[in-house]
Amino acid sequence: MPPVLELKGITKRFPGVLANDHIDLRLEEGHVLSLLGENGAGKSTLMNILYGLYSQDEGDIYIRGENVAINTPNDAIRQGIGMVHQHFMLVPVLTVTENVMLGMESMKRAGFLDRETSANRIREISDRYGLEVDPDAVVEDLPVGIQQRVEIIKLLYRNADILILDEPTAVLTPQEVEGLFDVIHTLVALGKSVIFISHKLKEVLEISDRIVVLRRGRVVGSTTPVESDERDLATMMVGRDVILSVAKMPREPEAVVLNVRSLFVRGDQAKMAVNGISFEVRGGEILGVAGVQGNGQTELVEALTGLRAVEGGRIMIAGEDTTHASPRTITEVGTAHIPEDRQRDGLVLDYPVEDNMILNTYYLPPQAKGMVMQEAVIAERAENLVAEYDVRTPSISTPTGNLSGGNQQKVIVARELSRPVRLLIASQPTRGLDVGSIEYIHSQLVRKRDEGVAVFVISAELDEVMSLSDRIMVMFEGKIMGTVSAVGATKEELGLLMAGVAPETATMTS
């Protein structure tokens, strides 16, 4: 019997880049195939080709042995292919039913929508696959985990039997991940086939029947969980041996630099996102925040850096009360901030590198004399920083948007760390970067800690938090579930805290 899906020699070129280079892939019926690779390895491009969002330059797609052309999402849907995108494709203001039926609406007479029939179909699917959801709920009111269910229901509603899940665990707690894996097992048991895209080794080893590793647009290996382990996969993925831990010497913490007392911060939906938390970070230590995204970390950082109003409580940085201070004042007391979304907040992509190097110090001497900017000084400073922080750029007048993600992040790091700094707040500092850049950024954070700076790191990658931090603080629904020493902390313990299970209960159940 031919495989459900077979890709032969798929090649896709973007101007100047070979995104997919003669990729071959086989998916057997009822199997889970994992696509493993770093950011930019070509996983998403390949899946977008399969889903008809891009078209391949070369190569063929076979469904159950038959060569098919997939040029639009409609073609893909017709072939029984469905995809849950990394960023959900849901219309926030519409209901679950409306989102699911969109594009394949049940109709009554005279061209009116038949919401009832669709809603019943959704309930049916919910029951069958264990995907509980209220069809009449408005999507923007639903938590992320439920939104993901709606996405999966969308595929099943269209009778998809090849399901592509693009980085589905990025937004989930370890416990929610288990729930998702249960759903995947049910799907497979009922005859569906799944392509699971991830860069998380453990998950891939747990869920897959077969693992295909991509690097720089090429298939570099194909294996099974039985035949391999984490270290093998990591080496295949990156192309060399990877040090999975961060080298750092133990260090005695110094005086308190950041002191937060019963802080309240509102989220965008007027709800409290940070719910009365207190903690402190000392000079010479790295405090890492673990937690599933959307549990108040973003709002906390915004409040600390003056980008979001504080509703209650107090923030002290280096002895100064900065509770209601402006971003500028907070910068001036010695705070460096590597923002979560570097392209949105941290850089002006249209600006040349040199202009981004002065983003928050443009008004200070010697960059400016009065209101007149000093061209020569700015250029010289930029040249020095580019050399010191190893930013790979053709020149300092190159638009920053033309640099790779890693080099963009280095521009930010150079700018933030070249000032006299007491507190360093780094939010998702390595998100979406290649391994080389990740190692570099980590070493810079540790260097600052060794110099006596208080370092506060927020990351969605539990591994990163565990290997970087001296202490780990876990946030859940705007509260601190617990703070533990990084030495001796286990993933299981942290996972329970991230899911909101308090330590006492945790020990009781175990």
Partner 1 sequence: MNKKRSEDASIREDTSSVATNSETALRDKVRKTRGVVWRSLLVPLLATVTAFAIGGLVIIATDESVYEAFQDGIGRGIVQVFIVIGRAYGTFFTGAFGNPAQIVEALFSGNAAQIRRAVYPITETLRISTPYIFAGLAVALGFQGGLFNIGAEGQYFVGGLVCVFAGYSITGLPQIIHLPLALLAGVAGGALWGAIPGYLKGKTGAHEVITTIMMNYIAYRLAEFMLDVGGPMARGDGRPVSPEIQLSAYLPQFFPNRVDLRVNAGIFLALGVAWVVWWLLYRTTVGYEIRTVGKNPDAARYAGISVPRVMVITMALSGALAGLSAATDILGVLHFMPNSFFSGYGFDAIALALLGNSHPAGVVLASLLFGAIGAGARNMQGMAHVPIDITSILQGLIIVFIAAPAIIRALYRMREPEEDEELALARG
Partner 2 sequence: MTVAQVTPRSQRRARTMGIFFCLVSLSILLLFMPSTQPGQTTTFAFTERSSNALGIADMVFRTRVGLYLMALVAIFAGGWQLTKGFERVNVVLGLVVGAFVLAFLAWAARGQSMNMTGMIKSSLLRAIPITLAALSGVMCERCGVVNIGIEGMMLSGAFFAALFGSITDSAWLGLLAAMIGGGLMAALLAVLAIRYKVNQIIAGTAINILATGLTSYFSSRYLQKYAELNNPATFSPIPLPGLSKIPIVGPALFNHTLLVYLTLILVVVIQIMLYYTRWGLRTRAVGEHPRAADTLGVNVFLTRYVNVISGGLIAGLGGAYLVLSSVARFDELMTAGKGFIGLAAMIFGKWNPVGALGSSLIFGFADALQTKLAILAVPIPSQFLLMAPYLVTIVALAGVVGRSRTPAADGVPYEKS
State the Cα–Cα distance between residues 317 and 330, nearest whole angstrom: 8
- The piece of 27-35, 47-55, 280-288, 340-348 that touches partner 2 (CB under 8 A) is 47-55
* Cβ-contact 297, 277 below 8 angstroms: no
C-beta closer to partner 2: residue 244 or 309: 309
Residue 440 interacts with partner 2 (CB under 8 A)? no
Binding mask 305-344 for partner 2 (x = CB under 8 A): ------xx--------------------------------
Cβ-count burial of 508 within 10 angstroms (0-12 exposed, 13-18 middle, 19+ buried)?
A: exposed
Binding-site partner at residue 245 among partner 1, partner 2, none, CB < 5 to 8 Å by type: none
Among 34, 56, 99, 444, binds partner 2 (CB under 8 A): 99
C-beta closer to partner 2: residue 253 or 478: 478
- The piece of 2-10, 96-104, 343-351, 359-367 that touches partner 2 (CB under 8 A) is 96-104
Residue 215 interacts with partner 2 (CB under 8 A)? no
CB contact set of 485 (below 8 Å; sequence gap of 6+) = 470, 471, 472
Residue 73 interacts with partner 2 (CB under 8 A)? yes
My answer on whether omega of the bond before 339 falls inside 30° of 0, hence cis, is: no
Structure token digits, residue 342: 């570097």
Residues in touch with partner 1 (CB under 8 A): 14-17, 40, 305, 307, 326-329, 331, 337, 339, 341, 344-352, 354-355, 359-360, 362-363, 368, 371-373, 375, 379, 394-395, 397-399, 401-404
C-beta closer to partner 2: residue 84 or 494: 84
C-beta closer to partner 1: residue 138 or 368: 368
C-beta closer to partner 2: residue 138 or 486: 138
Q: Which amino acid is at 125?
A: I
Residue 105 interacts with partner 2 (CB under 8 A)? yes
Q: What Cα–Cα distance (Å) separates residue 505 from each residue in 11, 424, 481, 496, 502?
A: 52, 34, 12, 10, 6
Kind and range of the H or E run holding 360: none
Binding-site partner at residue 276 among partner 1, partner 2, none, CB < 5 to 8 Å by type: partner 2
C-beta closer to partner 2: residue 91 or 502: 91
- The piece of 68-76, 211-219, 299-307, 442-450 that touches partner 2 (CB under 8 A) is 68-76
CB of 103 to partner 2, least distance (A): 3
* Parallel, antiparallel or unpaired: strands 272-282 and 256-266: antiparallel
Beta bridge partners of 32: 194
Residue 15 interacts with partner 2 (CB under 8 A)? no
State the Cα–Cα distance between residues 103 and 86, nearest whole angstrom: 20
Residue 138 interacts with partner 2 (CB under 8 A)? no
User: Total number of residues binding partner 2 (CB under 8 A)?
Assistant: 37
How far is C-alpha 422 from the geometric centre of its chain's CA atoms? 28
CB of 102 to partner 2, least distance (A): 5
Binding mask 375-414 for partner 2 (x = CB under 8 A): ----------------------------------------
Binding-site partner at residue 453 among partner 1, partner 2, none, CB < 5 to 8 Å by type: none
* Cβ-contact 122, 133 below 8 angstroms: yes
Nearest Cα neighbor of 52 from 79, 73, 29 is 73
Sign for the CA dihedral angle at 56, 435, 338, 409 comes to: negative
Q: What secondary structure letter does DSSP report for 95?
A: B
Residue 264 interacts with partner 2 (CB under 8 A)? yes
How far is C-alpha 412 from the geometric centre of its chain's CA atoms? 19
Among 276, 327, 399, 405, binds partner 2 (CB under 8 A): 276
Kind and range of the H or E run holding 124: helix 115-129
CB of 348 to partner 1, least distance (A): 5
CB contact set of 367 (below 8 Å; sequence gap of 6+) = 358, 361, 373, 374, 377, 378, 381
Binding-site partner at residue 102 among partner 1, partner 2, none, CB < 5 to 8 Å by type: partner 2
Beta bridge partners of 26: 6
Nearest Cα neighbor of 237 from 216, 257, 209 is 216
Cβ-count burial of 109 within 10 angstroms (0-12 exposed, 13-18 middle, 19+ buried)?
A: exposed
* Cβ-contact 87, 168 below 8 angstroms: no
Residues binding partner 2 (CB under 8 A): 48, 51, 53-54, 72-74, 77, 83, 85, 88-94, 98-99, 101-105, 107, 111-113, 154, 262, 264, 270, 272, 275-276, 311-312
